Chain A
Amino acid sequence: MKRDAPDLLVHGFRLALRNWPCLAWAYAVNLGFALSTAIPFSAGLAGYLDHSLAARQIAGNLDAAYLGELAILMARDHITGPALENAYWLTLIETLVFVFLTASILSVYMNGHPPKPSLLLRGGAEFFWRLVRAGGLALLIAGPALALLLAARAWLLSRMAGVSESRNLWAAAVSAAAVLMAALALRLWFDLVEGCAVRNALSGERAVRRALLPALVLLRQRFLSAYGSFLAAGACGAAGLAACIYLWKNAVDANQVAAAFVIAQAGFFLLLAARLWQRGIGTVLVLAVYPLPAPERRAAETRAGGPSTLAQPPAPAVTREPTLQELVQKLHREPWASPETSKAARTDLFPEKTPAEIDQAGIDSADGDPAAGNRGAKEPQISLLAEHEMKPPLPRSTDAAAAPADSPAQPEGPEERPGSGLAATVSVNNAGPEPQDLQPAADLSPAGEDSSLRPSESQKG
C-alpha cells in the first residue's frame, strides 16, 4: 500500500507526458482565448497610453493612482464594459471548449490512442455531453455539500470574530484550508466520475449516473493514495506558478514586458500541466480498478446489449477458476501440434472460426447440441465435457497440466499473466503502443485479494 501513491503519481505523470500534445492543445486554447480577449482591451488602452507621458507611471514601477484614474476614464468612456463583456462571453466559450478538450483527453488517456487532432476531435464529440451531464449531476451533489461547508465556516467566523484577532485569523485560515481541502476532494471525486463515465461509455454503458457511485466507492477505497497524489500534483503546479511569480517579482524589471510575459506563460503552462497530471492520475486509478474489457469482448457485449458496467464489476467473471469446458475451448483455439503439422489437421477437423464464433458456437455445442456446433467433426473430448460440466473448477496446477506442452505462451484474447490462469489482466493502455508500461490493473489473484496496484508492483519488482 505504501507504494500506491508514488505509483499513481508516476503512472499519471507518464500518461500525461506520453500524451503531451494534449497539454499543448490545452495551453494553446488557454492562451489563444486570453489573447483574443486582450485585443479589444489593448486597442482601448492605445488611445490613452500610446502617446501620453502619463503612461510612464504605468510602464515603470506601477503607480496605483494612475492605474485607478485610467480605470475610471476607461469605464467612463465605455471601453472597459465592452472589453469585459467580450471577455465574459469568450470565457464562457472557452469553458465549453475546455470541457470538450477534457472529453478528448480522457478518451485518449483511456483508449491509448495517439493524441492526433482527429482522434481528439472524435473523442471530444463522443464524450462531451456525457461530461456535461456528469458535471450537472456532480454539481447537484457537490454544490450543496460545499455550500454547507461555507455556511459552517461563516458561522464559525462570526462566532470567533471580535474575540481575538490572532485566533480569528487562525480560525479563518484553518477553516478556509479545510473548505479548500474538501473542495479538492470533491474535485477529485468529480475527476473520477468523469473518468468512470468515459470508461463506461467505452464499454457501451450510456447512463452517466452509473459513474457516480463507482467513483465514490473508488475514492473511498483509495482515498489516501488518490487524494495524496492529486494534491501532490496540484501542489507541483502551484509551486511552479509561485516560482514564476517570485522570478517575475525579483528578477524582472517593471518595464521588461516580454520577459514578464514569458515567465507568466511558463507559470500557466506548469499549472495546466499539473492539471493534466491530475487527470492522468484519475485515469490510472479508474482503469486500475475498473479495467476496460478486451476489445473483442467489448464489441460482443455492445452487440449483445449487455455491457460490462462499473455497477457490475468484472470481478466475479474473472476471479473464478476456469472450468474444464473453457479449457477445452482454449485448446480448440490453439494448435494441436507443431505449427507445421497442425495446420492441415485443423483445417479438416476444425474449420477456422473467429473468436466470437468460438465463444458463441463452441459453448453452445458443449451444452448438449453438438450438431449445432461442429457438426460431423470427430472430437472425443466433447463427450467428456458433459460429464465434467458441473464439476468444480480444476485447481491451478491442473490448468498447467491440461495445457499441451507445446501450446504457445501468448494465447489469443486477453493477456495472461503467469499464475493467474485465464483471469484476464487487462492492461490500462491495452490498445496503446506500450501496454505493459501502465499495468495497474485489478489484481485477480485466486484468493480474490483486492490489491489493484499490485501487478504493477510485481512488474517493477
Chain B
Amino acid sequence: MSAPVLEISNLRKSFGDEVVLQNISFSVPVHTATVFIGASGSGKSTLLRCINLLDSVDDGVIKIDGEDITDPTIKSDQVRRKLGMVFQAFNLFPHMTVRKNITLAPIQVHGLSKDEANARADELLNRFGLMEKADQYPDRLSGGQQQRVAIIRSIALRPRLLLLDEITSALDPVLVNEVLSTVRDLKNDGMTMVLATHEMGFAKQVADEVCYLEAGQIVERGSAQQMIETPQDQRTIDFLKRVHEAGRL
C-alpha cells in the first residue's frame, strides 16, 4: 500500500487559552475520503484551515505526501499548490467571470497559457453542466451553482488533496443535492478528500472513514456504515440523535 496523501499526528491548536484541537491523529490514503462530523465549534473548520496553512498549529505534525508542512521554513505557497479548498461561503471573486475565477490560479500559479487554462476550465464546466454560465459574474448564479464553480476552481489546479469545509451549509435543501452530486462524481474519479459536513446521508455515501469530533478531539472513528448506524461512544450516539431530530439524517 502506498504512503498516505495526508498524515496528521498529535495535532494541537489553541486560540489563546482556548484549546480548539488536541490529540488529533489520522491519515488519509490516496483515493479515499475522510469525513469529519460534529457540532459547530467542535474544531472541524480549524482542522481544515490548519492543513491548508491558513492557521498555524501549536504542536504535532502534518505531512502531505510524506513532507512535513508544519516545518516553519516551508514555503506555504508551494504547499497550497498541492491542495484545493472549498469554503462554506463559496468565496468566488465577484469581479471576475466564472471562467476567469477558474483560470486565475492555473495561469498565475501553474504558469499555464491562457488557452490551456481556458480549455481546462471549459472541459470542467462542460462536465459539470455549467458551460452556459462561463461568461457570467458570480452574482448572477444561484448558491448551488456558485458552490459548484468554487469546486471546479479548486480542482482545476489538479490538487493532490481536496478540503471541503461545510460546503452545503449556506445552501437551501433543494440546492444541496446538485453540490453533493458534484462531490460524489469527484470521489468516483479518485479524488482524495477531507470533508467537514452536517449532511449525514451524504457522509454515508462518500466517506471511507468518518471521525466524530467533539471539543477538539476525535471521540470516535470508523467506517461510515458503522459510525452512522451503530456508533459505540455515548457522545457520538447523542450527537447523531440530535442530528436525527433536526431532520438531517
Same complex for A and B? Answer: no
| Chain A residues proximal to chain B, CB less than 8 Å | none
